Structure 1
Amino acid sequence: MKKSVIISLVTIIVMVLGISIAMAATNQPGSETDPVVTKSYVDSKTSYSPISLTAGQKLIGGEGAEIILRSGEATAIDNGANGVSDLTVGTDLMTGSQVATNHLLLVPRNDGRGITALTDIWVMVRGTYTIK
C-alpha cells in the first residue's frame, strides 16, 4: 500500500514538471505568444510629446489620444453629441468649455474631438492627432 502511494506521488510530480516545462517552452521571446517589440513602439505607447500651438490652431485627437494642457488657454471641441473626457474631474467638456491646465483629457474616438488654442499654448500629447 505504501509503495503504491509513493509511485502515484512520483508519477504526479513527473507529470506536473513535464507540463510546466512544455508550457514554458511555448512562450519563447519573439514567438507569437510573446512578441518582441521595439523601443520606439514602447515609447510611442508610453511617452507624451510636447506640442506647441499658436492662438486659433486646433488639435484634433485620434482614438485614445491623451492631452494635457501645460500652459496657455484652450477650449474643448466636441463631436456634436459628446465631449472630450476630462479624466481629472470626471466630466465631459463640450465645445467652448475651458480646459484646465494639468488636467488629463481623453479623446475616446476618432470623430473630431480635441481642443482649440485661445492663446499660444503648450500641450503634452500621447497618441495620434492632427493640427489644423
Structure 2
Amino acid sequence: MKKSMILTVVTVLTLVLGITVAVAATSDPGSETDPIVTKSYVDSKSSYTPISLTPGQKLIGGVGTEVILRSGEATAIGNSSNGVSDITAGTDLMTGQAVGLNHLLLIPREDGRGITATTDIWVMVRGVYSIQ
C-alpha cells in the first residue's frame, strides 16, 4: 500500500513539473506572459540618436528627453517661467542662453522646451522629440 501511495505522489509531482516546464517554454521572452527584459530592449531604450540641425531649426523634447550638443552652437528654449535643465553645469538654461558643448540637457516636461540651432549642429538625443 505504501509503495502505491509513493508512486502516486511521484507521478503527480512529475506531471505538475512537466506542465510547468511546458507552459514556461511556450512564452515569448519579453512578452506580457514572460516580462523579463531582454538585452535588445535595453539597448534600444538606452542609446542616443545622432541628429543634425541647420540654423533656425528647433529640437523640442518630451518628458525626460536628454540632449547633448556635440558640435556647433545652440540656444535653449524654456517656457515662460522655467528653462532647460543643464545637468552638467547644474543650472537652468532660459530661452536664448547658450548651450555648452558636451553638456547633458534634460527636458523636464512636454511644454515646448528644447534647443534652437544657431549654426549647423550635431546633437545626441535620447527620448521623444520633434524637429521644427
| Bin of the TM-score, shorter chain as denominator length | 0.7 to 0.9
**Mapping for residues 31-70 of structure 1, pairs under 5 Å:** 35-37=35-37, 41-70=41-70
SS in 1 for 2:42: helix
1:36-88: CA deviations, max 9, x gaps? 34555323321000000001000000000000000000000001111000000
Structure 2 unmatched runs, 5+: 1-19
- What is the letter of the counterpart of residue 78 of structure 1? G
Structure 1-normalised TM-score?
A: 0.72
Structure 2-normalised TM-score?
A: 0.72
Percent identity between the aligned chains? 77
SS in 2 for 1:108: coil
**Mapping for residues 93-104 of structure 1, pairs under 5 Å:** 93-104=93-104
State the partner residue of 2:8.
none
Structure 1 unmatched runs, 5+: 1-24
8 Å Cα contact 2:30/2:38 also seen in 1: no
